[in-house]
Structure 1
Amino acid sequence: MTGTHGRRLVLLGATGSIGTQALDVLTRYPEVARLHGLAVGGSRPEIVADQVLAHRPERVVVSDPDRADAVEATIASACRTAGASIPRIEVGPEAVTDLAGALGAQDVVLNAITGSVGLLPTLAALESGARLALANKESLVVGGHLVTEAAAPGQVLPVDSEHTAIAQALAGVRHDQIDHLVVTASGGPFRGRSRDQLAQVTPEQALAHPTWSMGRVITTNSATLVNKALEVIEACFQFDLPEDRVQVVVHPQSIVHSMVTLVDGSTIAQASPPDMRHAIGWALAHPEKLPGLAAALDFTTAQSWTFEPVDEDTFDAIALARAAHREGGGAMAVYNATNEEAVDAFFAGDLTFLGITALIRAVLEHPERPRAERADGVEGLLAVEAWARRTARTLITSAEL
């Protein structure tokens, strides 16, 4: 590789699925970057301590103040035992945002935080001039125009198998040559089931994804197809296209990660085994390629790839997101915030599986729903999101769904 020596990396969400795989990539390819700092929620202090010993970051941020003492004590003990220096440890969401904005134009921030709390760190990273490897899709879903207007050309690189695939397929393609994008979906664990069959789905069943290993929220979102709905909106902002030019197709094998159809009728697809290290390594090392990063497809054995339409009557999450995106005014912030509340309620036993998208619809259609104008900026979006969370909780406890 060339041109990456001396590059620093800030990793937000270091103990999650993307974060741990990113550090695996960094271990195998230390020439990609040097870990400057990491941010964690704090629920897995032993893993944080292992990461500190393995990569020796200068800064560690714990976003949850209630967990900071346990993380700090675990790190200190591990460092003393290993004879290593203890990194600077900071606490709170503001410290996460500060860490995200601490680097410069030659460096990389990988935002792997889950949820809309990733928006402010995303904006801080863009303001710093650093490359933003973005796994936090909610940044674009909730604050799409804020992010795209703050980003320099090429500054945001997606860390998502679908959007990384599209970006690779678009290499050398002019924007006016794009007819539409095709985002693939595995279909989740409930592909082919009716709404009646979904009525009794349990949290344990929702977490049994057939292809990918992900965290609780993203796995549940994949089961409801909310995750695919968010990816449609993310693609609209990432590639500057309206939602009616972003199609979704079910591809159970998860080999073709997405496609681009051009105005001449040809379609370009990116295919690889389902392994997030492809997307992570692509974003961290771009424009370089990391040799032997992950397994390649084996075309010496017989295999079949199938594609089928999404059953949007049974899984209504995508249609709801399309309508919210067309409406604007912070509707996608409402959609996302309500979904986050709904997933928590589903795991608490306070909401059924079908109740997740029913709640999203109810909050979006609420007669008192406020709007956020573009001039309102981050504060306006956060206010709309806070309203959505309060309203969602009220509807959950009222048992109206």
Structure 2
Amino acid sequence: MTPFPSATVAAAEHPAADPGARRRVTLIGSTGSIGTQGLEVIAGAPDRFEVVALSGGSNTDLLARQAVATGAQVLGSATASRDDLAAALAAAASRAGVPTPEPMLFCGPSAAADVAAWEGADVVLNGITGSIGLAPTLAALRAGHLLALANKESLIVGGSLVKQAAAPGQLIPVDSEHSALAQALRSGTAGEVRRLVLTASGGPFRGRSRDELQRVTPAEALAHPTWTMGSVVTTNSASMVNKALEVIEAHLLFDVPLEAIDVVVHPQSVVHSMVEFTDGSTIAQASPPDMRLPIALGLGWPQRVPGAAPACDWTTAATWTFEPLDEIAFPAVRLAKEAARASATHMAVYNAANEEAVQAFHDGLIPFPGIVDTVRAVVEDYDPRAVLGDEELSVDSLAAAEQWARSTAQARWPSGQKGRI
């Protein structure tokens, strides 16, 4: 059993990680939740970080405002044309009363990967949601950048492709749970680790039975009691699929066997995860729920960024509770472990089927438990040899497995979805 790091060894060992240097940062998914919080962290520590490149989604106006505010040298958009992006930059500069910047522009489906590969960065924060984050993850790693990874799907779907691309010290986890594990694992050696314990808030439906979950609405699924996240991640948190993906992510990051990774429900979301050692000691990382802390640690690893987020207030009474996961109502974690053991491409199928099922739930086509029911049915129907033949694991074979999963999932409900969330 190898502790954090294996592919992730302490970033100080990576040649790009000079702990005393001001790090040049590329943000992939800069207009999303992780990206905007990453910009807050960077703005609060100008002596530690500077933004050099940004890639955003459909919110072109926000992307342009970010570029003007940060002076980014490179800008990418998957949805806007070069003319539209240039016009948005001019408008944002005019409103700010500054000259129009002229960054290098990348547009189109490969924009995020192109920006991630740009040579002028030291560290890339990948905050995209979904398996579309795989291309920029691989691009950043192959370019030799440190990768602060918030896009768990790219590691889960890419699996050994991502691990093979990562040099020692190059891959740093940003999910709050995996950041917590990375910190706790500093307390012991590989042979001293007994198990990893990931905490889960339980989401908005904690304590509900499977029958009760049949009647919940999309609005209820998006009402997370602790975290503010995008719609897909928030729905995944409600179904425990997000926690299932995090279990697989921990398995891949830290080379800990799946049977030595457990989940416990902790509604307060203050203890972000724990490591149990062979002598009976458990080391936990605790802080108020605020993604700026793991983002800051991911950007600055192995050094901490002072003032990145508030600390626990020990002058105020508080109670932390822990409950076992109800695997009858929420079977996603057990299903993910089964899929991960089945083949190198089963988790790509799991993730793609879930993305389609989440959309179907929000379109009113299936009930809430139908999300994981769909994932189970698609995973059980998947035969890698029948779908992929003898094709070796590659980006193309993963894409083919995903496309099969999406088509198979969509065939389970009526056509005519109302639109992507």
TM-score (norm 2): 0.90
Confirm or deny that 1:50 pairs with 2:65.
yes
Identify the residue that residue 216 of structure 1 maps to in structure 2: 231
> 1:76 pairs with 90, 102, 107, which one?
90
Q: Deviations over 1:349-372 (max 9, x none)?
A: 222211101110111112666466
Once the 2 structures are TM-superposed, how far is the Cα of residue 45 of structure 1 from its aligned partner? 2.5
Once the 2 structures are TM-superposed, how far is the Cα of residue 261 of structure 1 from its aligned partner? 0.5
Once the 2 structures are TM-superposed, how far is the Cα of residue 72 of structure 1 from its aligned partner? 3.7
Once the 2 structures are TM-superposed, how far is the Cα of residue 4 of structure 1 from its aligned partner? 4.8
Confirm or deny that 1:233 pairs with 2:248.
yes
Quote the Cα distance in structure 2 between the aligned partners of 1:349 and 1:245.
Answer: 37
Quote the Cα distance in structure 1 between the aligned partners of 2:57 and 2:171.
Answer: 24
Once the 2 structures are TM-superposed, how far is the Cα of residue 181 of structure 1 from its aligned partner? 0.1
Confirm or deny that 1:174 pairs with 2:161.
no
Identify if the C-alpha distance between structure 1 residues 329 and 371 changes in structure 2 by more than 3 Å, giving closer, same or farther: farther
Identify the residue that residue 162 of structure 2 maps to in structure 1: 147
Identify the residue that residue 107 of structure 1 maps to in structure 2: 122
Larger RCO (CA under 8 A, 6+ residues apart) = 2
Asked whether the equivalents of residues 331 and 371 of structure 1 are also in contact (C-alpha less than 8 Å), the reply is no
Once the 2 structures are TM-superposed, how far is the Cα of residue 129 of structure 1 from its aligned partner? 1.1
SS of the residue 1:181 aligns to: strand
Confirm or deny that 1:314 pairs with 2:329.
yes
Identify the residue that residue 34 of structure 1 maps to in structure 2: 50
Confirm or deny that 1:377 pairs with 2:394.
yes
Identify the residue that residue 335 of structure 1 maps to in structure 2: 350
Spell out the pairing of 1:1-400 with structure 2 (5 A cutoff): 3-42=19-58, 44-65=59-80, 70-80=84-94, 81-103=97-119, 107-366=122-381, 370=386, 375-397=392-414
Identify if the C-alpha distance between structure 1 residues 264 and 35 changes in structure 2 by more than 3 Å, giving closer, same or farther: same
Q: Deviations over 1:309-347 (max 9, x none)?
A: 000000111111010011123110000001111111111
SS of the residue 1:304 aligns to: coil
- Runs of 5+ unmatched residues, structure 2: 1-17, 417-421
Asked whether the equivalents of residues 79 and 86 of structure 1 are also in contact (C-alpha less than 8 Å), the reply is no
Asked whether the equivalents of residues 109 and 132 of structure 1 are also in contact (C-alpha less than 8 Å), the reply is yes
Asked whether the equivalents of residues 89 and 100 of structure 2 are also in contact (C-alpha less than 8 Å), the reply is no
Quote the Cα distance in structure 2 between the aligned partners of 1:197 and 1:154.
Answer: 45
Once the 2 structures are TM-superposed, how far is the Cα of residue 73 of structure 1 from its aligned partner? 2.2
Identify the residue that residue 8 of structure 2 maps to in structure 1: none
Q: Which residue identity is paired with 2:408?
A: T
Quote the Cα distance in structure 2 between the aligned partners of 1:240 and 1:208.
Answer: 34
SS of the residue 2:304 aligns to: coil
Identify if the C-alpha distance between structure 1 residues 239 and 227 changes in structure 2 by more than 3 Å, giving closer, same or farther: same
Once the 2 structures are TM-superposed, how far is the Cα of residue 131 of structure 1 from its aligned partner? 0.4
Q: Which residue identity is paired with 2:413?
A: I
Once the 2 structures are TM-superposed, how far is the Cα of residue 279 of structure 1 from its aligned partner? 0.2
Asked whether the equivalents of residues 61 and 88 of structure 2 are also in contact (C-alpha less than 8 Å), the reply is yes
Once the 2 structures are TM-superposed, how far is the Cα of residue 304 of structure 1 from its aligned partner? 0.9
Asked whether the equivalents of residues 76 and 86 of structure 1 are also in contact (C-alpha less than 8 Å), the reply is no
Identify if the C-alpha distance between structure 1 residues 342 and 172 changes in structure 2 by more than 3 Å, giving closer, same or farther: same
Once the 2 structures are TM-superposed, how far is the Cα of residue 284 of structure 1 from its aligned partner? 0.7
SS of the residue 2:118 aligns to: coil
Q: Which residue identity is paired with 2:146?
A: R
Quote the Cα distance in structure 2 between the aligned partners of 1:292 and 1:145.
Answer: 36
Choose 73-82 or 311-320, whichever is displaced more. 73-82
SS of the residue 1:83 aligns to: coil
Quote the Cα distance in structure 1 between the aligned partners of 2:274 and 2:382.
Answer: 39
Quote the Cα distance in structure 1 between the aligned partners of 2:92 and 2:32.
Answer: 20
Asked whether the equivalents of residues 59 and 88 of structure 1 are also in contact (C-alpha less than 8 Å), the reply is yes
TM-score (norm 1): 0.94
